[in-house]
């Protein structure tokens, strides 16, 4: 089998994800020495940061001394990623394992201790927001010095990749300072594929950890805040619809010198390994979009900044034939789960949303229904997550005044049929006579027939540019 290489340090392991450590022998401590940055122990700053996190001191108007504390801690947490002992194995024959605190995973764990990760609804107290803002600013200053540098000063790939891993974790706080950094990495055509992946992970953290009701606090003013939010969502949507900008940077061992690098080209002209790469990155962009709980965001101050990412998720769920290569089961599962998180707004057509979710769910489980031994998905994990998402969606719709009685009845019916015919049999498989697969499509297919939307129905009632193009409505 041919293998893929991104640059010289990072491999794309087919179906498994990214390896963020350099192959042994490619990078040595001596080669990293010129890039080493001082990471002195923060001393008193560590204790002071803990007190700030616990809310013992106000940060509404932080003093210079307060910000010096955050800067010392941020520098310490980030600068260690330039130190060889965290990134590579020993240069001697000594095979003793390194202690956990001297690994990148140790760095990530240390960073997590100081973050405030918002709950699922994104709600934080103002005091917690102030803390995350100050810590995010300090961290990002040190991260940008590694990630956003001119070409002549770019450090070795292993340093940048692991700084990218730190950024992805830091973004879980939703801190405003990280938004421009993630946007810059996603927008820059020179961002290497391995770093682009962690920028997508960072975007997932930002969208999952940000309270949209306080959008005006994201940037210098309401209009700039809407622009920043818009830019990040649009970059993610482009990665899903147009394909991630990585194909021209992939080296496929054993291939011809000229490779097709246009993701819109005919699927037959893309190498199988390229399709795997596209789907891997596209999956992460879908996960990021799926963290939003609002169907429409921004556009109140500057109309052109309005975004409706649920439309992109719905296109994934129904397998929009205009997007190539075709979406696989993993991508559809993430899109449906993301749609289930949506809190319906006044203009969202709930009937169309529910139909698209049912359509995608049926598509995914049709594979399991036709082959009980299929291993293309971790089926029990997928069924458990989708079941949990459907239950949460049903509960949220039950108390949403915008969802009328008839729609609630249709949603209740869909959740029951998906649960009884697909999720429960997958989680607790039982074989019938002759080993018949327990997963049954008939219940959800009946629902699709009974709830088929009209031909002119669109996802939003107020704008006629959100029509879903089904390959074949049930």
Q: Are residues 270 and 403 in the same domain?
A: no
Nearest C-alpha neighbor of 38 from the set 68, 74, 82: 82
Say which DSSP state 31 is in: H
Q: Do 334 and 291 meet the contact criterion of CB atoms below 8 Å apart?
A: no
Q: What is the mean pLDDT of residues 197-207?
A: 96
* Residue 395 pLDDT > 90: yes
As given in the structure block, the two tokens for residue 167 are: 């950024």
Residue 190 DSSP label = T
Mark whether 388 and 333 lie in a shared domain: yes
Is 208 part of any domain? yes
Confidence of residue 467 (pLDDT cuts 50, 70, 90): confident
pLDDT for position 301: 87
401 in helix, strand or coil? coil
Give a yes or no: residue 301 inside a domain.
Answer: no
Do 262 and 401 fall within a single domain?
no
Residue 444 lies in a domain: yes
- Please give the residue range of the domain that contains residue 97: 1-293
pLDDT at position 250, please?
65
Q: Which pLDDT band holds residue 252 (cuts at 50, 70, 90)?
A: low
What integer is the mean pLDDT of 132-155? Answer: 92
Domain co-membership, 280 together with 325: no
Considering the domain architecture, whether residues 84 and 149 belong to the same structural domain is answered as yes
pLDDT tens track for 299-310: 888 889 999 999
Q: 263, 293, 323: which is the final residue of a domain?
A: 293
435 pLDDT tier (thresholds 50, 70, 90): very low
**Residue 95: what pLDDT?**
59
| Whether residue 237 sits in one domain with residue 104 | yes
Instruction: Write phi, then psi, for 13 (nearest 5 degrees).
Output: -85, 115
Q: Identify whether the C-beta of residue 271 lies closer than 8 Å to the C-beta of residue 186.
A: no
Residue 249 pairs in a beta bridge with none
Please count the helices (runs of H) and the strands (runs of E) in the chain.
18, 4
Question: Is position 303 within any domain?
Answer: no
Q: Is residue 299 part of a domain?
A: no
Indicate whether 287 and 383 sit together in one domain: no
- For residue 172, pLDDT beyond 60: yes
- How many domains does the chain fold into? 2
The reply to whether 298 falls in a domain is: no
- Looking at the domain assignment, is residue 439 inside a domain? yes
Q: What is the 3-state secondary structure (H, E, C) of 322-370?
A: CCCCCCCHHHHHHHHHHHHCCECCCCECHHHHHHHHHHHHHHHHHHHHH
Domain check: are 253 and 313 in the same one?
no
> CA 193, CA 198: separation in Å to the nearest integer?
9
**In this predicted model, what pLDDT tens digit does every residue of 49-89 receive, in sequence order?**
999 999 999 999 999 999 999 999 999 999 999 888 888 76
Domain for residue 300, yes or no?
Answer: no
Q: DSSP of 119-180, one letter per residue?
A: -TT----HHHHHHHHHHHHHHHHHHHHHHS--GGGPPPHHHHHHHHHHHHHHGGG--TTHHH
Cβ atoms of residues 310 and 332 within 8 Å: no
Same domain for 122 and 214, yes or no, is: yes
Same domain, 344 and 282: no
Question: Are the C-beta atoms of 425 and 365 separated by less than 8 Å?
Answer: no
Whether residue 287 sits in one domain with residue 345: no
Residue with tokens 């169309």: 352
Does 401 have pLDDT greater than 80?
A: yes
User: Sheet of 17-18: strands edge to edge?
Assistant: 17-18, 10-13, 4-6, 250-252
The pLDDT tens digits for 354-382 are 999 999 999 999 999 999 889 999 999 99
Same-domain status, 46 and 171: yes
């Amino acid at each position: 089998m041919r293998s893929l290489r991104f640059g010289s340090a990072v491999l794309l392991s087919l179906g498994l994800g990214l390896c963020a450590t350099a192959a042994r022998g490619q990078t040595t401590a001596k080669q990293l020495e010129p890039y080493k940055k001082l990471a002195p122990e923060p001393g008193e700053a560590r204790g002071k940061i803990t007190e700030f996190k616990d809310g013992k001191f106000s940060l509404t108007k932080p003093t210079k001394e307060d910000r010096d504390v955050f800067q010392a801690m941020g520098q310490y947490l980030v600068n260690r990623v330039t130190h060889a002992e965290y990134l590579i194995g020993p240069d001697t024959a000594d095979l003793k394992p390194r202690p956990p605190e001297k690994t990148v995973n140790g760095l990530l764990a240390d960073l997590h201790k100081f973050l405030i990760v918002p709950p699922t609804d994104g709600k934080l107290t103002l005091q917690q927001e102030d803390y995350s803002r100050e810590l995010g600013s300090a961290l990002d200053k040190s991260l940008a010095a590694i990630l956003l540098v001119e070409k002549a000063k770019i450090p070795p790939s292993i340093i940048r990749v692991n700084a990218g891993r730190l950024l992805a974790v830091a973004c879980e706080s939703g801190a405003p300072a990280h938004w421009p950094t993630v946007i810059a990495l996603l927008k820059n055509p020179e961002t290497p594929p391995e770093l682009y992946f962690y920028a997508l992970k960072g975007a997932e953290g930002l969208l999952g950890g940000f309270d949209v009701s306080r959008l005006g606090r994201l940037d210098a003013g309401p209009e700039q805040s809407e622009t920043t939010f818009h830019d990040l969502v649009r970059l993610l949507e482009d990665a899903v619809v147009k394909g991630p900008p990585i194909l021209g940077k992939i080296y496929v061992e054993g291939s011809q010198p000229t490779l097709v690098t246009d993701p819109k080209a005919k699927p037959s002209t893309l190498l199988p390994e390229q399709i795997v790469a596209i789907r891997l990155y596209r999956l992460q962009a879908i996960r990021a979009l799926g963290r939003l709980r609002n169907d429409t965001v921004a556009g109140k101050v500057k109309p052109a900044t309005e975004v409706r990412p649920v439309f992109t998720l719905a296109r994934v769920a129904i397998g929009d034939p205009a997007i190539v290569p075709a979406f696989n089961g993993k991508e559809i599962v993430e899109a449906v789960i993301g749609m289930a998180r949506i809190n319906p707004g006044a203009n969202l057509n709930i009937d169309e949303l529910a139909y698209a979710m049912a359509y995608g769910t049926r598509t995914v489980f049709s594979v399991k229904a036709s082959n009980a031994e299929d291993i293309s998905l971790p089926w029990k994990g997928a069924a458990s997550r989708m079941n949990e998402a459907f239950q949460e969606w049903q509960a949220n719709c039950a108390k949403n005044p915008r969802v009328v009685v008839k729609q609630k009845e249709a949603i209740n019916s869909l959740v029951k049929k998906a649960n009884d015919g697909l999720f429960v049999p997958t989680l607790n498989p039982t074989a019938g006579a002759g080993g018949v697969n327990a997963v049954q499509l008939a219940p959800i297919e009946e629902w699709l027939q009974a709830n088929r939307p009209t031909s002119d129905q669109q996802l939003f009632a107020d704008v006629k540019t959100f029509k879903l193009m089904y390959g074949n409505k049930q």
